[in-house]
Chains A and B, each alone.
Chain A
Amino acid sequence: MNEAGVLLKLRSVSKSYGATAILHNVDLDVRDGEFITILGPSGSGKTTILRLIGGFTKPSGGEILLDGRDIAAMPINQRPFNTVFQDYALFPHLTVEGNVGYGLAVRGTPRAETAKRVADALELVQLGPLGKRYPAQLSGGQRQRVALARAIICRPRLILLDEPLAALDVELRRHMQTFLKSIQTEIRTTFLFVTHDQEEAIAMADRICVMNAGRIQQIGSPHEVYYRPSCEFVAKFFGENNLISGTLGPANGLTRAIETRAGRVLCSVEGQPDMAAAPVGSRAFAVCRPEAVAIGDEAAGENRFVVSIDQVAFAGASTMATASSVDDPTLSLKARIPSRPDGSTLSPGDAVTFVVPANACRLVPA
Chain B
Amino acid sequence: MSGRVADAATNPGAHVGPSRLAPWLAMLAAYAVPVFFVLAPLTLFLGYSFFSVDQGDIVFTPTIANYVRFFTDPIFLPIFWRTCLLCLAVAVLCVLFAFPVAYFLTTLRGRRRYTLLVLLLVPLLMSYVIKIYAVRSILGGNGMLNKALLATGLIDQPSMLFVFNLNAVLLTLTVLLIPFAVLPIFLSLERIPKALRHASADLGASGAQTFWRVTVPLSMPGTLSAMSFVFVLAIGDFLTPQMVGGQSGFTFGRIIYSQFGTAFNWPFGAALSVILAAVVIVAIRLGGHAERRHGGAR
B191-207 interface mask toward A, CB cutoff 8 Å, 1 = contact, 0 = none? Answer: 00101101111111110
- Whole-angstrom distance between the alpha carbons of A75 and B201 in the complex? 8
Query: Which segment, of B132-140, B210-218, B255-263, B277-285, faces chain A?
Result: B210-218
- Whole-angstrom distance between the alpha carbons of A232 and B135 in the complex? 73
| CB-CB under 8 A for A150 and B297, given A87-B195, A91-B214, A93-B218 | no
The answer to the question of B294 belonging to the interface, with a C-beta cut-off of 8 Å to chain A, is: yes
In the complex, chain B residues whose CB is within 8 Å of the CB of A233: none
Residue pair A83, B202 in contact (C-beta under 8 Å): yes
- Output the residue of B204, B209, B213 with the most chain A CB within 10 A: B204
Residue pair A92, B202 in contact (C-beta under 8 Å): no
B158-193 interface mask toward A, CB cutoff 8 Å, 1 = contact, 0 = none? Answer: 000000000000000000000000000000000001
Nearest-Cβ distance from residue A228 to partner chain B, whole angstroms: 36
The answer to the question of A305 belonging to the interface, with a C-beta cut-off of 8 Å to chain B, is: no
Residue pair B198, A56 in contact (C-beta under 8 Å): yes
- Whole-angstrom distance between the alpha carbons of A330 and B200 in the complex? 56
The answer to the question of B74 belonging to the interface, with a C-beta cut-off of 8 Å to chain A, is: no
The answer to the question of A107 belonging to the interface, with a C-beta cut-off of 8 Å to chain B, is: yes
Instruction: Name which residue of chain B comes closest to A80, CB basis.
Output: B204
- Whole-angstrom distance between the alpha carbons of A73 and B195 in the complex? 20
| CB-CB under 8 A for A77 and B298, given A87-B195, A89-B196, A102-B213 | no
The answer to the question of A82 belonging to the interface, with a C-beta cut-off of 8 Å to chain B, is: yes
The answer to the question of A76 belonging to the interface, with a C-beta cut-off of 8 Å to chain B, is: yes
Nearest-Cβ distance from residue B66 to partner chain A, whole angstroms: 45
- Whole-angstrom distance between the alpha carbons of A349 and B254 in the complex? 97
The answer to the question of B12 belonging to the interface, with a C-beta cut-off of 8 Å to chain A, is: no
Neighbour of A93 across the interface among B199, B202, B205, B294, CB < 8 A: B294
| CB-CB under 8 A for A107 and B195, given A134-B297, A136-B297 | no
The answer to the question of A249 belonging to the interface, with a C-beta cut-off of 8 Å to chain B, is: no
Nearest-Cβ distance from residue A172 to partner chain B, whole angstroms: 21
Residue pair A92, B195 in contact (C-beta under 8 Å): no
Neighbour of B213 across the interface among A54, A82, A106, A134, CB < 8 A: A106
In the complex, chain B residues whose CB is within 8 Å of the CB of A82: 202-203
Neighbour of A136 across the interface among B195, B214, B298, CB < 8 A: B298
Give residues 218-242 of B contacting A (CB, 8 Å): 218
Interface residues of A (CB under 8 A from B): 54-56, 75-79, 81-83, 85-87, 89-93, 102-103, 105-107, 134-136, 150-151, 154
A-B contacts, 10 of them at CB < 8 A, read A56-B198, A75-B201, A77-B201, A85-B198, A92-B298, A93-B217, A105-B213, A106-B200, A106-B209, A106-B213
Interface residues of B (CB under 8 A from A): 193, 195-196, 198-206, 209, 213-214, 217-218, 294, 296-298
